[in-house]
Amino acid sequence: MAIPKGSLEEDTFSFLRQSGINLYGASRSYRPSTNYRGLSIKILRPQEIPVLVQEGTYDLGISGRDWVRENKADVKVLLDLEYGKVKLVLATPIKSEIESIEDLVELSLERPVRVSTEYLNLSRDWIFSNKRYREVYREPPMLLTPWYRVEGNERFKLILSFGATEAKPPEDADAIIDNTATGTTLARNGLRPVQVICESSAVLIANKGSLRNPEKLEVIKDIYTLFRGVVFARKNVHIFLNVKEDNLSEVIKILPALKGPTISRLSKTGWYAVNTVLEKDRLLELLPKLRRLAQGLVVIDPRQVLLLEDVDSVGEL
């Protein structure tokens, strides 16, 4: 399995720890060892991982959904891990009058426009799909990199950025297309987001050939189950209540559960223990009612809640 270095790195380490997979030597090596027998891990840039998983160099990978789309990687996305959430945006200088891609198209009629980005393919597809752009131009933007150029519209150029994309305008670019979590870095560099192109988060991806390998598929199912358990646990709490028999039916009505709350008699006559899994937001919503109906409430933040149904769907292509 390939896991990402960079902005997703620490969150990925934390996610793996919560899943029960410990890494040893990650601070000193790109090939940390693990406590999961049969699983080898390598730390790579997230930009590289989708293609390497597609080619079968790795059976599994964690990368941003944006990089899966940028590389047009032929992999199966098994699970949204729900961390590393960012938006891919078109951003322009704060003092610029450019408010949209349509404004950039109009500017390109006066002079050539330059957009700096690490996402050449995704940006090119998005721009070329724009209605106003298609009304004016018949070919997609030209792509420029230090090694090659992809012919296209010379009046609208996408220039490959190697990082520090926010520093490019206004001297080197009229606008940028980049990912942002909070917009703080953009603002510090005198930029503002004007359009959202797509949203992204970390995803677990698999090589399609590995899913056809029965031996590897069993390991992939186990890892998928562990990871899905972390995603679910981060959004839910496990609660235990002591409830009088008179209040039991009303408590059951308001408590959701995977299959139904677990109910057991206490040693004291007329009392029951109820335990279930509840969304964190719902706990705050239901607390006034539970406080009135229950005589004791314990809330546990679970490390994992393993959902064992539908795991076989992992192998479906």
Would you call 101 helix, strand, or coil by DSSP?
A: helix
Reference 191, options 172, 219, 207; nearest CA is: 172
> What are the structural domain ranges in the chain?
2-83+202-232, 87-200, 236-300
In sequence order, which residues have a C-beta less than 8 Å from that of residue 135 and are 6 or more positions away? none
Q: Classify domain 236-300 at the CATH topology level.
A: Alpha-Beta Plaits (3.30.70)
Sign of the four-CA dihedral 274, 275, 277, 278: positive
Q: What is the fold of 87-200? A: D-Maltodextrin-Binding Protein; domain 2 (3.40.190)
Q: What architecture is domain 2-83+202-232?
A: 3-Layer(aba) Sandwich (3.40)
Task: Tell me the per-residue pLDDT of 29-80, one tens digit each, with 9 for 90 and over.
Answer: 999 999 998 899 999 999 999 999 999 999 999 999 999 999 999 999 999 9
Token pair 């992992």: residue: 314
* 271-279 and 262-265 strand pairing: antiparallel
pLDDT single digits (tens) 181-203: 999 999 999 999 999 999 999 99
Taking alpha carbons only, the member of 24, 56, 66 closest to residue 41 is: 24
- On the question of a common fold for 2-83+202-232 and 87-200, the answer reads yes
